[in-house]
């Protein structure tokens, strides 16, 4: 559908929230229980890392084998397999996460897929050998919320990575995606947006730490018939090495941010530079751009 109003955005958000509600609830609750169809679970989701690292270790093969096992057991109406962005724990990939019990399986292989379906999804029994082992205690940890690696993390730029399907615009909208852009277009002048960015203290991550709001203010004041928003996704320095994860796991956030910037400085054209060695990031961003056009956002 074409998005023509804030009401249209809200309608899509409400429609897509159902897909994410199970994931939201599992993030908030703490449980040691393993959920399977045999233990009364009505619907389960299997999240598979679709980032470059896990794809290089055959995560697509895991997906294919899971889907085969689900079809073989005739449970396609009860189990979803969803490709998400990078979970951030690449050394333990490929990662598979089961919702709603939040079980976090590490170093999964395509050969493990049928066992995951038979034991966990159907039988409601965790597979101990696939669980993360804490290097200090040497005990298995089933829920990522209890892992020291994740426990103190506060994800901001990476908030959607490992949570939403990066190729599903409606899941992004369900996480308040494009609402900031709508607010800017409907309720704020370009200078208002620039003031908000300046007050936020947001800076470039390239090393110089130049204030983003000041950069936008300079561009806004520049007199020109044509202005461009350029997204440099080269990852040419240590401070920018999460760029690929964002493009692969949350590409619509790049599109929305560029639109907000374009509105603020008076630009109607945007360019993204991505190095050729990142084909997955390129494809995900192309998909996001095409979806944004299809929905009338570009």
298 residues of the chain, pLDDT tens digit each: 788 889 999 999 999 988 888 888 776 665 677 888 887 788 999 999 999 999 999 999 999 999 999 999 999 999 999 999 999 999 999 999 999 989 999 999 999 999 999 999 999 999 999 999 999 899 999 888 888 888 888 888 899 999 999 999 999 999 999 999 999 999 999 999 999 999 999 988 777 789 999 999 999 999 999 999 999 887 666 555 668 889 999 999 999 999 999 999 999 999 999 988 899 999 999 999 999 999 999 9
Beta bridge partners of 270: 229
User: What does the radius of gyration of the chain's CA atoms come to, in whole angstroms?
Assistant: 21
Both tokens assigned to 50: 């679709």
**Cα distances (Å, whole numbers) of residue 128 to 26, 30, 158, 217, 271:** 20, 19, 29, 55, 47
The kind and range of the H/E element at 132 are: strand 132-133
Burial of 196 (0-12, 13-18, 19+ CB in 10 A): middle
pLDDT at 179: 96
The CATH topology of domain 31-146 is Glutaredoxin (3.40.30)
Cis upstream peptide for 94 (omega within 30°): yes
Q: According to the CATH classification, is domain 177-294 in 3.40.50.11540?
A: yes
pLDDT for the residue numbered 168: 97
Which bin fits 292, alpha (ψ -120 to 50), beta or left (φ > 0)?
A: alpha
The pLDDT, as a whole number, for residue 139 is 92
- Res 239: pLDDT: 54
Same fold, 31-146 and 177-294: no
| CA dihedral of residues 223, 229, 235, 237 (deg, nearest 10) | 20
Residue 148: the pLDDT is 86
Q: Helix %, strand %, coil % for the chain, to 5?
A: 50, 15, 35
Looking at residue 21, what is its pLDDT? 85
Other CB atoms within 10 A of residue 145 CB: 15
CA distance 242 to 277: 15
Spans of all domains in the chain: 31-146, 177-294
Cβ proximity of 267 and 228 under 8 Å = yes
CA-closest candidate to residue 230, choices 241, 214, 221, 219? 219
C-alpha 68/C-alpha 286 separation (Å) is: 29
Q: Determine the straight-line distance between the first and last CA of the chain, rounded to whole angstroms.
A: 13
pLDDT at residue number 2: 87
Residue 54: the pLDDT is: 93
Note the pLDDT of residue 47: 97
- Residue 297: per-residue pLDDT: 94
């Amino acid at each position: 559908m074409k998005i023509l109003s804030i009401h249209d955005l809200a309608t899509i958000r409400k429609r897509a929230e159902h897909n994410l509600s199970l994931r939201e609830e599992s993030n908030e609750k703490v449980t040691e229980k393993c959920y399977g169809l045999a233990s009364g679970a009505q619907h389960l989701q299997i999240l598979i890392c679709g980032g470059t690292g896990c794809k290089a270790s055959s995560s697509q093969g895991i997906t294919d084998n899971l889907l085969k096992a689900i079809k073989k057991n005739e449970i396609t109406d009860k189990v979803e397999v969803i490709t998400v962005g990078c979970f951030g724990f690449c050394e333990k990939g490929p990662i598979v996460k089961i919702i709603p019990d939040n079980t976090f399986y590490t170093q999964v292989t395509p050969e493990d897929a049928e066992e995951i379906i038979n034991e966990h999804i159907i039988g409601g029994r965790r597979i101990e050998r696939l669980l993360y082992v804490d290097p200090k205690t040497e005990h298995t940890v089933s829920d990522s919320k209890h892992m020291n690696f994740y426990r103190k993390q506060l994800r901001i730029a990476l908030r959607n990575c490992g949570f939403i399907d990066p190729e599903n615009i409606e899941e992004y909208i369900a996480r308040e995606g494009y609402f900031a852009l709508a607010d800017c277009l409907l309720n704020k002048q370009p200078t208002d947006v620039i003031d908000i960015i300046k007050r936020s203290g947001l800076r470039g991550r390239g090393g110089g730490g130049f204030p983003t709001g000041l950069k936008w203010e300079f561009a806004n004041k520049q007199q020109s018939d044509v202005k461009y928003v350029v997204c440099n996704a080269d990852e040419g320095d240590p401070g920018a090495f999460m760029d690929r994860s964002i493009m692969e796991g949350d590409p619509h956030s790049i599109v929305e941010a560029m639109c907000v910037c374009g509105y603020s400085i008076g630009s109607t054209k945007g360019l993204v530079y991505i190095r050729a060695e990142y084909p997955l990031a390129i494809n995900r961003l192309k998909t996001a751009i095409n979806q944004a056009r299809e929905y009338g956002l570009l």
